[in-house]
Structure 1
Amino acid sequence: MFMRFAFLATALTLGLAGPAVADTAVLDKLKANRLAITLDKGALTGPGAAPLLQASRQAQYVLLGEDHGVAEIARFSSAYFNALAPAGFTTLVTESGPVVASALEGMLRRADAVTAIARFDAAYPDAIAFYTMRQEAEMLAGFALAAGPRFEHWGIDQEFIGTARYLIAQMLAQPVNPAARAKLEALRQLDAVASHKAAASGNPLEYLMLSASDEELVSLRPLLAGPNEQTALGLLDALLASRAIYQKSASKVPGDRGLSNAMRLALLKQTLASRLGVQEQKLLVKVGANHAYKGINPLNNRDVGNFLAERAEGQGRSSLHLIVLAAKGTQLRFAGAGKPHQPAPIELDSPASKLLASAGATDGSWSLFDLRSLRPGLRKLAAGDSDVFNLINGYDFALIIPEGSASAQLAAP
């Protein structure tokens, strides 16, 4: 999906033997501890279900790292999360912006949640990342029902590229002074023009979040100084922070994309930290696979997964990290501003993920691997393959689905 940017496949070097040595040894170990897991009428069954659920229920934080846009992964997530709700997991953390996540939380408390999400998407195109896919929206709605009255949805990411329209509407709904209101009305008109251009060209850089001048946005800030205008100011700051990340990400200046990634990681962690208390509730975290690693991930970063793993350990608790991938098939991907998403081939982009896929069952069943059992003697086992080394240290379990199918996009109601 646009602006979640392709993985930059970097890795550490352990300075041991070549990765080919690791492949055979690790592959044999993986196959030896492979367990089948089945999704049957919305419930997880098979030999792998019990150990995965037992380990997950004992954790304070459960992180699911995924490849986005695969229907089977969304259905697995739904069954997995619903099974954990009775164990106290009633808060879901996603790669959504906090403002839009709050709007989604309200929709998810309604009986027509999926329809409400589709209606919101039609009114505010490209304001919601990922959850305008039908299976993902159904997963959210099902989990909200399973979690019951204690359900919470936390978004910890930047607001998505088309969110300016919704943020402006929310600011206009606040008690702002006449000068600020006039400025916001002018921005709303600019947004209408920008959104039309973005939809016509398919270029998300045309959206107001990126096409507006600095003066048009920053000049609003000093107008929101009153005590009753702090909510509107917070919404503006969310827009500006998201804009800054996207600007660096789209820049052609050397080093800016790396800076964008660092800015985004800081935002993810800071936003999450602002929601956590001393005795916080258990959390389910559903993010892209690179984000959920303990330790160093393939981008050579310490991401949200490591942040929560360290926090849990410091509190005498634990985190559980599960990676879920489809070995082949198709996934739904962003295809341009205001355009229908399009299916695209699944391409596993790291040696470790390809190794997991090759260890999967050949009879079409789903394969669960307990990676913790491979950690004793891992340095020798990995034989210098840093990608394999980091994956086995970074994830506790891995689930391989032999073939995935692209999620379906929600249709406008």
Structure 2
Amino acid sequence: MGRHRRIFGPEAFLLAVAILAAPGIAADIPKVDLPAKIAASSRPFAYDADGGLSGPGGAFIESATANSQFVLLGEDHYLRETPRFAAALYRMLHARHGFRHLVVEQDRYAMEDVLAPERRGDAKEIGKWVRRYPGSFEFGSDQDIGLLALAGKLDRGAMAICGIEQAVGAPRYLEDLARMAPRSEVRNEVEALHALALKLDSEPTYSVNFLIAPGTLERLERLRSIYGAQPGSRADEMLLGLIRSAEIFGYYRRAEAGEPVGLFNNTVREDWFKRLFMRCYRHMAGDGALPKAMFKFGSNHMFRGKNPTQAFPIGNFAHEFATANGREAYGLLIVPLIGTGYGDIPAELRVMLPAEVPLVPTVVDLRALRPLQRWLRASLKEVESTAFREIVNGYDAIVLLPGEGPATMMLSGLRSIG
């Protein structure tokens, strides 16, 4: 027969007969007490007097993140308790594991403004800036502002906070571009765009009407061509950021109109996250130490592997990058509990949660439940089973936050969009 063996030869036939004859092989699935396993994997935690984590759950998270270069927090937005947990987690990571950087789903230049000496670490002053530039802060609640102030206090470095969101708050960009404009005709075009942006985004809240509007992308591309900024300069980075953002928002607008480009709204955005993160990372690593960072993003961005919107997100990039550096990333999915019971929490999540709804914050260890996937998903429909696999393999723990509610906006006085 030479080098090649027949796939279905006598040996294969005899093996098949033996398997069919063997009693119990692949027929009897051992029973697992899932409620007991989930209960054993669930640990309550609390907040101590200093705003840090305490209790069995706090000790578990501290131990679970000990070898992490990156800790990834996947959230629902515009809630009150989630940023509070994020602040407590960051305090612990900073104190126990030497984390010095907070990476957020916020505008790059807005985070530079937050770290300016006159605002750094001061929630009230940051709130005033949010009021002045509402479109620059995708998440400008009192609780999110408090987290930004904390990060600015805990570390005094230039990269204490890194914003890697696509450009938002076009008026803030265009003000700087007008000041840096090399010629009067360029300045006139910038000022015309600035006036249009103020008109389209005039409400006292976060909005991106200018960037998503038809024709904006083309006007920004023309502006970059006549501006003549040196590649890599602040002006060129601002122009490129506005262009990429108008492109990404444009995919969303066009998809809503029926054009098959919705995928690119996700994939191009995730690639832009990675580009801006690597820019921050190179600065973080400037002193030769291994940078350690906590990420706080919408849950879709923090998955390990491909996320539900068919992109390989910044979260997956962080996992792979940490592995390449000889460390790991640890992902926590925040599940807010609003009202009583599990309410509208989907089935693919409910099968991993304690039978009794927790009355206090609780962390569920998904690494311990991962080997039980076959049993956990047995009652799920096919579409639910797919979502279950994405979660149990894409995150390392679930954090349940009872008593969750809407964020407040007192520091900025803006209208919430949550």
If the TM-score is normalised by the length of the shorter chain, which range does it land in?
0.7 to 0.9
* 1:233 to 2:242 alignment: no
Return closer, same or farther for 1:225/1:254 CA change in 2, 3 Å cut-off.
Answer: closer
Return closer, same or farther for 1:216/1:381 CA change in 2, 3 Å cut-off.
Answer: closer
What residue number does 1:285 align with? 295
Number of residue pairs matched by the alignment? 368
* Aligned partner (choices 221, 225, 234) of residue 222 of structure 1: 225
Give CA-to-partner distance per residue, 1:246-305, whole Å, 9 cap, x none.
Answer: 111122133222221121111112222333347641111111112111123333432111
| Structure-to-structure mapping, 1:144-223, within 5 angstroms | 144-149=152-157, 152-160=160-168, 163-174=169-180, 176-196=182-202, 199=203, 204=207, 206-207=209-210, 210=213, 213-223=216-226
* Aligned partner (choices 95, 98, 102) of residue 88 of structure 1: 98
Contact 2:46 2:55 in 1 (8 A): yes
What residue number does 2:349 align with? 353
What residue number does 1:140 align with? 148
Distance, in Å, in 1 between the alignment partners of 2:45 and 2:365 is 12
Return closer, same or farther for 1:226/1:375 CA change in 2, 3 Å cut-off.
Answer: closer
What residue number does 2:5 align with? none
Structure 1 residue runs of 4 or more that deviate by more than 6 Å after TM superposition: none
Distance, in Å, in 1 between the alignment partners of 2:376 and 2:196 is 58
What 5-or-longer segments of structure 2 have no aligned partner?
1-28, 414-418
Contact 1:175 1:228 in 2 (8 A): no
Residue 118 of structure 1 deviates from its aligned partner by 2.0
Distance, in Å, in 2 between the alignment partners of 1:183 and 1:107 is 32
Distance, in Å, in 2 between the alignment partners of 1:347 and 1:104 is 37
Structure with more contact order per residue of length (Cα contacts < 8 Å, sep ≥ 6): 1
* 1:35 to 2:43 alignment: yes
* 1:327 to 2:333 alignment: no
Return closer, same or farther for 1:258/1:107 CA change in 2, 3 Å cut-off.
Answer: farther
After TM superposition, the score normalised by the length of structure 2 is 0.79
Return closer, same or farther for 1:135/1:229 CA change in 2, 3 Å cut-off.
Answer: closer
Secondary structure of the corresponding residue to residue 65 of structure 1: strand
| Structure-to-structure mapping, 1:219-368, within 5 angstroms | 219-227=222-230, 230-251=233-254, 252-277=257-282, 280-329=290-339, 350-356=346-352, 358-359=353-354, 361-362=356-357, 364-368=359-363
Q: Answer with 100-109 or 260-269: which moved more.
A: 100-109
Distance, in Å, in 2 between the alignment partners of 1:155 and 1:71 is 21
Contact 1:194 1:207 in 2 (8 A): yes
Residue 174 of structure 1 deviates from its aligned partner by 2.1
* Aligned partner (choices 47, 54, 59) of residue 56 of structure 2: 47
Give CA-to-partner distance per residue, 1:10-33, whole Å, 9 cap, x none.
Answer: xxxxxxxxxxx9xx9655422232
What residue number does 1:338 align with? none
What residue number does 1:399 align with? 399
Residue 387 of structure 1 deviates from its aligned partner by 2.3
- 1:262 counterpart letter in structure 2: T
Percent of residue pairs identical: 25
What 5-or-longer segments of structure 1 have no aligned partner?
1-20, 331-345
What is the Cα-based RMSD across aligned positions, in Å? 3.0
* Aligned partner (choices 97, 106, 110) of residue 107 of structure 2: 97
Residue 133 of structure 1 deviates from its aligned partner by 0.2
